[in-house]
Amino acid sequence: MRVHYELANFVVSAWKLAQKDERIPTSLGVLDRALEMVIDDLPERFSSALRFAEMPVGRLCVELPDILSCASESYLITEPSYGHDTVGIRISAARAMDLLDDLDIDIAVAATFGRKLATAVHKECYQLRRTASFIR
């Protein structure tokens, strides 16, 4: 479980450094699939921390609910609530850098990961919009 807290610290900090005040999408498997796209860019200590499985709604990260819970318990993100498809970041960029220092992860590495994750998230959101418009 400790790795979930560390991964929560890393992902939220990386997102904060790369995206400043943009919210993190948490619904429709967007973050799950984005994480799978950038899994090879995670620091080595997290390389085996995430598993992905095919579910009726698509590919999902098995550990993501626990990681988001850890982030919420640590007051890194706003509480995900029913009907909301995103969470806000509660920490400042300075706090994100402190958390990365505690994890002994280079700030530049985290910021690069955050940009790659954000790009993957935006691609997933685009795909969802395309699919939704196709279905209509």
**What pTM value is reported for the model?**
0.91
How many CA atoms does the CB half-sphere of 68 hold within 13 Å? 20
pLDDT above 60 (res 128): yes
CA distances from 22 to 7, 55, 57, 83 (A): 19, 28, 25, 18
The distance from CA 111 to its chain's CA centroid, rounded to whole angstroms, is: 13
Q: How far apart are CA 135 and CA 89, in angstroms?
A: 33
Q: How high is the mean pLDDT of the chain?
A: 90
Position 100 confidence tier, pLDDT thresholds 50, 70, 90: very high
CA distances from 31 to 63, 104, 106 (A): 12, 24, 23
What's the pLDDT score for residue 26?
87
The single-letter code of the amino acid at 44 is E
Highest-pLDDT range among 24-33, 56-65, 114-123: 114-123
Instruction: Reduce the DSSP state of residue 53 to 3 states and report it.
Output: strand
